[in-house]
Amino acid sequence: MNFKRYSTIYGALWRNSVVREMGFKSNFILWIFVELLWFALQLSFIGVIYLHTDHIGDWTKWQVVMLIGASHFIQQIFQAFFLVNCTQLSELIRTGKLDFMLLLPVNTRFLISLRQVDLGGFVNGTSGLAVMAYAAKQLHIMPGFLSIVGFFLLCAAGILIHYSLMFLLSTISFWTVRAQGIVWGYYNLFNISRMPDSAFQGFFKAFFTFAIPMLLVANVPAKLIALKLQSPWEMVLLVATAGVCFTLSEIGWRFAMKHYTSASS
């Protein structure tokens, strides 16, 4: 792909998103408030749990708070870039708009995946970072530059996992017309990533680490900042899983496109 050309296209998509969001300012502000309220409720729930215990697995209260902040940040940035676009694929197929996109001189997956940006996700994502910073202060942790850079790179790998798996599930729309239930079902599993991996054992831990890698996505970046990484192989596993998930989503996308006969057929 021509980087400069696609950067220009993406800039135009951003401008369109800003214009759309500013056209409904009250909705924009209300949605931010709702997300912040939901985040506050999750933190309150953890506070209640730690009134009755000192640890969840081997995680202390403020370590779990840091994990929740990291999970919230990853979820909101994913939501900002990809959530709306993935959930709308079935509508593009049903209404025939995908046919129009296929005629455009631009990579179709690029356009489908990035054509809308949820600006509220960036605002809400900062609240996750703020909570992490406060938790680090309570834990007397001062992350170095490399740790911070590593954290954001690992977050990017986690976001890529979420995007790849949700996009792969969205391609089911080519055969079922509507797949929002499956896609939103996956999105609801995000709550698992807010829990410490040591709270899971046996089959469930293996399933949510390798089959649906929810525990990897937030736990590994949070562990890096909280100084809980037991081995660098956890980071390698996260990055490798991101690569595998993206490859599978690309294979699924190409397979679906080969069997697509357009809405008018």
Give 203-258 pLDDT, tens digit per residue.
Answer: 988 999 998 899 999 999 999 999 888 888 999 999 999 999 999 999 999 999 99
pLDDT of 255: 95
Q: What is the tens place of the pLDDT at every residue in 56-98?
A: 888 999 999 999 999 999 999 999 999 999 999 988 888 889 9
Helices 145-170 and 214-226, axial angle in degrees (round to 10): 170
Instruction: Output helix, strand, coil percentages for the chain, rounded to the nearest 5.
Output: 80, 0, 20
pLDDT of 253: 95
Please report, for the chain, the start and end positions of each structural domain, with discontinuous segments joined by +. Answer: 3-258
Highest mean pLDDT (candidates 84-93, 100-109, 156-165): 156-165
Per the model's pLDDT, the better-predicted residue between 186 and 21 turns out to be 186
The region of weakest confidence among 19-23, 91-95, 170-174, 198-202 is: 19-23
**DSSP letter assigned to residue 196:** -
Is residue 222 helix, strand or coil?
A: helix
| 59 beta partners | 56
pTM of the model: 0.92
